[in-house]
Every structure is written in C-alpha cells, then in structure tokens.
Amino acid sequence: MSDTTYVRKGFGLKAEVQDTLAADYTGQLVDMLRAREYTLTAGDTTVRLAKEFGFCYGVERAVDYAYQTRIKFPDKRIFLAGEIIHNPHVNAKLREMGVVFLSASGKGFDYAPVEPADVVILPAFGVTIQDFQTLRELGCVVVDTTCGSVLNVWKRVEVYARDGFTSLIHGKYYHEETRATASQVEKYPGGQYIVVRDMDEADLVMDYITHRAGRPTIRPALTRVAFLDKFARAASDHFDPDVHLDRIGVANQTTMLARESLAIGAAVGEAMAHAYGEAHRSEYFRTFDTICSATQDRQDAVVELLREPLDLMVVVGGYNSSNTISLAALCAEQVPTYHIADPDDIDVEGNAVRFRTIGPHHHEESLTDWIPRAGTLRVGITAGASTPNNKIGQAVARVFAIRGEQVDTRL
C-alpha cells in the first residue's frame, strides 16, 4: 500500500472531532467520582469506582481516527472491518455516521462490497495478513487503527515463526485479535500456531507433550486424532502435534486474564522440562507476558477495590468484550457480580437487571430485586477498556435511582 492509500496516524483532524467525541462519550458523573476519590455517597448508598476503568489509549485512538475519517471523506463510502471496538454504543454511533460494517468471512472479513474508490477502517483488534493482502489488491484507502499493544504481540509471534517455534496463544480462537495475531505465523513457510482458551485446554497440550515423551501424565492424554479434533478450529491448517510441539513460544491475546496467561506460560515451560529436560526447555521454549498495560491496570484496580467490603459489583461493557469478561470473572470470585452491556440493562422502576452470567457456559439472564431498596449498601463499579464514561455514569445514576436517591452531577 502506498502512503496515499494507507493511513496509520490519523488525518490531523483531532481538533475538529474533539467536541463531537466529548459530547458522545464524556460523563459528568464519572468526573465527579474521580474528583471525590472515586467515591459517591447519597443516603445509605455508596458507590465505589475502580481507579482504572473505561476507555484506554488504544480505544480512544481508534474511535478518534474513525471520526476523523468521516470528516476527511464526507462523500466517500466508508467501511469498517467488523467492529471498531467491542462496545454496542460506540458502534451504533458509527452506524449513525454512515459507516458500513463488513461481516466476518472465514478467518477474516467479506470485502466483496468494497470498491477501489472506497475507504476501509481497520479496527483496534487488527486484521489478518490475508485481509491486508485483499485490501492491497483492491487499492482502496485503508485507515489502520490497530492498537500498539496488539502490534507488539504480532512482532513476538512473527519472531517465533521465523525461528521455527510454534506459537501457543492464550486467547479465544474466534476473537478478531487472536485471528489477526495467529495469522502472523504465515509470514514464514511452515509457521504454526495453536490457541488455548484457558488452563484446562493448556493442560491438554501439556499432557500430549508429556505422554509423547514417554513420561507419566496426571490425566490420560488425548490421541493424535482426538487432539486434532479438539483443536481443529484453534490451530494452523497443517498443525501436527507430533511435530509442532517440540518448540513452543507462548503469547496471548492482550485482553485475557493476566494471571492465567502467566500461569499458562510457566506451566507449559515446566511441562517441556519434565518431558525433555531442562536443557531442551532453555533452548526450545520461550514465553513473554504480552498482556497490554491498560488491561493489567484495570485488573489490578479491581483487585484493589475488592479488598474493601462490597455488597455487589457492576461491570459495564460489551458482552463480546474480552477484557470486560476478564474483569467480571475477577469480581465474581469475591462478590455477587453483574456484567451489563449497557445502562439500559438496569430497570429502575422494576428493580431488575439483565446481565451476562460468568463462566464457560455463560448466557444472558434477568433478575428482579437484585438491589435491596433499603438499608446500607456499598456497590463497586468498573468498566472494560471499550466502555465510554457516559455509559458508566448512567449505570451509577440508575443504581442510586433504584435506592430512591438523585445525584447532583455538579462538582
């Protein structure tokens, strides 16, 4: 792509979109919580906000560039590869601006509607190298908002492939970011990857390694056929566990639960040493913590908040937002937790909440009388990195409204 068709640093129109962005996403109530040491009390109700929450730099940049693109090309058709971020409110705003969302197709997106005269925005999660090739051949303008933290993981995976290591990625094989990351191995002939969702799936990989080396395993290892069937959608096309698990480099989707990523990396290294010896691990195993700093900061802030006595936690963010799901999982270990996609999921008059349950078999559920109408109540709140401040503030206001309290947003 040429300099005229590939844009990664915006269009210099930040000042032109600043007021619109502020109107769409700024929250006065959140500003007030910050000014009052993240605490707001009215009557018997106290809301405590985690000290790190909401929009991260990568998300702000992606949304900013999308708005700039609309101003830069007022008369062009603008397409977006999937969702700019995983937040329904933000994506709805872009649709209102006339941005057309491209649907998924295979491991990438369907670019059939796109013509050379059009503009395509790439989301914060990035796209696969096959997507890049398709866009290069189309010759359209490409606005790349891929997060810098994601690019760092790509570089790590690319180095693994270059050096003949299989990338073991802690993530969700169907997530846009993980698909884009996994595709980086294809820059080198024979590059391989396998994606594990959690420690349970990592255990399957470790058992296979240990069994194949002739060492005893705690659990029966999968056969080669069963292993390939289990990871059919989570491994590279020509992945062979009998060949491609001898050299492993661990990476992760940037929004996963950090402690689990670190634990998986350590455990896989131990399995390699148990199977083949310490010398083999030293030479043929690599691991790096590629969780992004914003994800880590939000998880650390929640852990700190959970040290306080809380009656419940509200976590605001899209149901397909991986970093929000990780926050909700942390909270649910300590206190009743409600992961809501939007403040509208809280029904003030009916004292009801619609939320996403937490765990591998999650589903949407509704509950009435989820907040006691009277008595002392302490509510914690946080939000994923793709959640705007105004939506966090609206959720806080609805909690107070259920308790019969009106909150003055004047500082």
Residue 411 — pLDDT band, cuts 50, 70, 90? very low
- pLDDT one-digit tens code per residue, 182-196: 999 999 999 999 999
**Angle at the Cα of 60 (from 58 to 63), degrees rounded to 5?**
105
Q: In the numeric block, which tokens belong to residue 328? A: 């909700």
More reliable by pLDDT, 383 or 410: 383
- pLDDT one-digit tens code per residue, 208-253: 999 999 999 889 999 999 999 999 999 999 999 999 999 999 999 9
Structurally, at CATH architecture level, domain 58-147 sits in 3-Layer(aba) Sandwich (3.40)
The residue count for the chain: 411
Q: Torsions phi, psi of 42, nearest 5?
A: -140, 120
- pLDDT one-digit tens code per residue, 136-146: 999 999 999 99
SS3 368: strand
Q: Which of 45-59, 197-211, 224-238, 282-296 has the lowest mean pLDDT?
A: 282-296
Equal fold, 19-56+293-402 vs 58-147: no
Choice among 83, 158, 177, 186 that is catalytic: 177
- pLDDT one-digit tens code per residue, 349-370: 999 999 999 987 889 999 999 9
Residue ranges of domains in the chain = 19-56+293-402, 58-147, 149-287
Q: Where do the H-state alpha helices sit in 165-223?
A: 176-183, 199-212
Structurally, at CATH architecture level, domain 19-56+293-402 sits in 3-Layer(aba) Sandwich (3.40)
Q: In the numeric block, which tokens belong to residue 138? A: 């189309």
CB 171 within 8 A of CB 252: yes
CB 381 within 8 A of CB 50: yes
Answer whether residue 119 shows pLDDT above 80.
yes
Strands 45-49 and 39-42: antiparallel
Has 405 been annotated as catalytic?
no
Structurally, at CATH architecture level, domain 149-287 sits in 3-Layer(aba) Sandwich (3.40)
